[in-house]
Amino acid sequence: MKKGRSRTSELAAVFDVSRETARKWLNDLAMPELERMTEMAGRFGVSFEWLATGRGTPKGFHMVQDATAPYRVENREQARLIGLVGRLPRDQRKALLVLLEQLVDKS
pLDDT digits (tens, 9 = 90+) for 38-48: 888 888 888 88
pLDDT digits (tens, 9 = 90+) for 51-93: 888 887 776 554 444 444 456 677 778 878 888 888 888 889 8
- Geometric angle at alpha carbon 94, from 40 and 86, rounded to 5°: 10
pLDDT digits (tens, 9 = 90+) for 3-61: 666 888 888 888 889 999 999 988 889 989 888 888 888 888 888 888 888 887 776 55
28 HSE (CA, 13 A, CB side)? 4
On whether the CB atoms of residues 40 and 32 are closer than 8 A, the answer is yes
72's CB contacts (< 8 A; 6+ apart) are 63
The answer to pTM > 0.85 is: no
Decide: residue 73, CB within 10 A, 0-12 exposed, 13-18 middle, 19+ buried.
buried
